[in-house]
């Protein structure tokens, strides 16, 4: 009897404890719902803060809001809560330290699976499908895996150097082509150059990304404010997005399927080069795994080509506006690399100034200035404010890069920020903490991007001088860099002259190109 009573008492204790936890959770949840939202502009009847949400250069307007209302700002877009994080500290607190609560995504309501872009894991909701897709991508793009793609990147860079030599005025379009072709080669093992049949995949990729950027722009269509429009026929005046869906879906399928099919054909014929596709298809035994592998390869392009190109154009702008940094980097390259070869990633440890220069490019003009939105997966509290479940969380890397307490003279381009006693030392100033995203959503292609960009800028500075406009006396003319409001952010065309540093540099380019199977360049 005593044992039975003891057992009953134990069960009662467990039940009491469980009920206490439940009551505490209910009370705590109720308390959160009664907390105030973060401060922000006054909300209007029905439309909330729609007039306050910027339609262009959002990072500048959001920065002004943060300075006025604080590092956490609340906006209401027809009932959709937006939380603006105005400081890197707030972004780290929520998106890094509480990543379990903030790893979801919120994109345009037009960007459902009907757009055809569900293969792009970066826009998938947090969950099993997303984890499988990201795992497949990371398997082929982690810090150790990217070494196998170095020869592909170097071939693309050498082709670009030859194009710079022969047609320097097209430096911008040829750079975009180089990044496109390199990623397609890495993803599918397809050698892309202007005279090859594989050139069509660059055109497919460029068109697809134009459709992607339209479909995934938050708030571009009325359906964002009035979700019921999803159920209206396409001819309805406010349902124009529905007329775009077939076009977007067709573009998305082409990028996912056509280069993959070409890669599989080459594998079957025994003529395939090592690539993401060749690695992933070896592990794919089911239809689901094949679908994931196809999506991972297509995601490599969607996630990287445009952002690397935009970062590269910011590098060129920095070299024109801050020529002294170019001269210091070239002096370092001359002393370490010499005149008879091109620099490689293996030289990086001996090139601290050039390493710092690339990091400063990332910080000086972040090409995704408002980051990629996260979504609050549950109710939360931060600094006494309520963060509602379903809130869109917006970061502002551009503002973080302008924090004078971390980066004195933030508008200046100063690679020496990351040098200490002549050594590369990021300390607490690493801009990759906000440039490449946060928490479980951090960019898994960052290692490949950093390597390719480093090797590209090292090779160009080793062989070419970059200059801007000059007056009649030959003195450099300062100008204001202006930007195109696109995603990723791009500078407007500016006067940029790229010329060989010497006859020796020109000879090096021509010799290496002829030795690297590049004779088919047009």
Residues annotated within the binding site for heme are 443
* Nearest one of 201, 185, 142 to 450, comparing CA atoms: 142
Beta bridge partner(s), residue 419: 424
418-434 tens-digit pLDDT:
999 999 999 888 999 99
Distances (CA, A) of 419 to 150, 267, 335: 27, 46, 18
Phi, psi angle pair for 424, to nearest 5°: -70, 120
pLDDT of residue 301: 80
pLDDT of residue 5: 42
pLDDT of residue 209: 82
Residues annotated within the binding site are 443
pLDDT of residue 311: 97
pLDDT of residue 203: 86
The SS3 call for residue 484 is: strand
Q: How far apart are CA 266 and CA 271, in angstroms?
A: 5
pLDDT of residue 231: 54
Q: How far apart are CA 84 and CA 439, in angstroms?
A: 17
pLDDT of residue 219: 47
* Nearest one of 153, 129, 154 to 141, comparing CA atoms: 153
pLDDT of residue 472: 81
Which residues, other chains included, contact 205 with Cβ-Cβ below 8 Å and sequence gap of 6+? 180, 184, 255, 301, 305
The SS3 call for residue 66 is: helix
Phi, psi angle pair for 384, to nearest 5°: 80, 5
Homologous superfamily assigned to 32-514:
Cytochrome P450 (1.10.630.10)
Q: Which residues of the chain have pLDDT under 70?
A: 1-33, 107-114, 194-195, 216-242, 514-522
């Amino acid at each position: 009897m005593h044992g039975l009573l003891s057992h009953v008492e134990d069960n009662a204790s467990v039940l009491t404890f469980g009920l206490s936890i439940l009551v505490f959770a209910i009370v705590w949840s109720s308390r959160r719902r009664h907390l105030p939202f973060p401060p922000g502009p006054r909300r209007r009847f029905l439309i909330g803060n729609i007039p306050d949400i910027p339609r262009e250069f959002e990072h500048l307007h959001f920065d002004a809001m943060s300075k006025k209302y604080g590092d956490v700002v609340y906006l209401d877009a027809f009932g959709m809560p937006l939380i603006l994080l105005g400081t890197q500290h707030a972004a780290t607190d929520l998106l890094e330290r509480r990543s379990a609560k903030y790893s979801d995504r919120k994109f345009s309501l037009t960007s459902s699976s009907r757009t055809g872009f569900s293969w792009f894991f970066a826009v998938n909701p947090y969950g099993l499908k997303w984890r499988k897709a990201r795992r497949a991508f990371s398997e082929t793009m982690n810090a150790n895996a990217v070494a196998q793609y170095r020869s592909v990147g170097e071939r693309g860079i050498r082709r670009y150097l030859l194009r710079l030599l022969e047609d320097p005025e097209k430096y911008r379009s040829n750079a975009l082509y180089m990044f496109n072709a390199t990623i397609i080669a890495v993803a599918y093992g397809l050698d892309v150059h202007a005279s090859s049949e594989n050139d069509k995949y660059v055109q497919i990729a460029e068109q697809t990304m134009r459709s992607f950027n339209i479909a995934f722009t938050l708030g571009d269509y009325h359906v964002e404010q009035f979700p019921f429009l999803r159920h209206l026929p396409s001819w309805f005046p406010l349902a124009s997005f529905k007329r775009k869906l077939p076009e977007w879906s067709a573009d998305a399928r082409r990028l996912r399927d056509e280069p993959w099919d070409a890669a599989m054909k080459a594998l079957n014929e025994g003529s395939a080069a090592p690539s993401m596709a060749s690695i992933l298809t070896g592990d794919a035994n089911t239809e689901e795994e094949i679908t994931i592998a196809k999506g991972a390869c297509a995601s490599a392009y969607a996630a990287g080509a445009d952002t690397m190109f935009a970062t590269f154009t910011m590098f060129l702008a920095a070299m024109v506006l801050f020529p002294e940094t170019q001269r210091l980097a070239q002096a370092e390259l001359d002393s370490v690399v010499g005149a008879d070869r091109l620099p490689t990633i293996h030289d990086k440890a001996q090139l601290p100034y050039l390493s710092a220069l690339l990091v400063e490019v990332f910080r000086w003009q972040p090409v995704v200035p408002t980051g990629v939105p996260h979504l609050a997966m549950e109710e939360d509290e931060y600094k006494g404010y309520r963060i509602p479940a379903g809130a869109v969380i917006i970061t502002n890397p551009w503002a973080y890069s302008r924090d004078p307490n971390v980066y004195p003279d933030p508008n200046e381009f100063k690679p020496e920020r990351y040098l200490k006693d002549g050594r590369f030392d990021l300390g607490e100033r690493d801009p990759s903490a906000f440039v490449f995203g946060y928490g479980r959503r951090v960019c898994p292609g960052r290692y490949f991007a950093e390597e390719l960009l480093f090797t590209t800028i090292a090779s160009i500075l080793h062989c070419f001088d970059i200059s801007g406009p000059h007056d009649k006396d030959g003195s450099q003319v300062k100008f204001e860099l202006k930007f195109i409001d696109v995603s990723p952010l791009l500078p407007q065309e500016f006067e940029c002259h790229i010329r060989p540093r010497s006859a020796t540099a020109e000879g090096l380019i021509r010799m290496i190109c002829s030795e690297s199977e590049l004779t088919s360049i047009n």
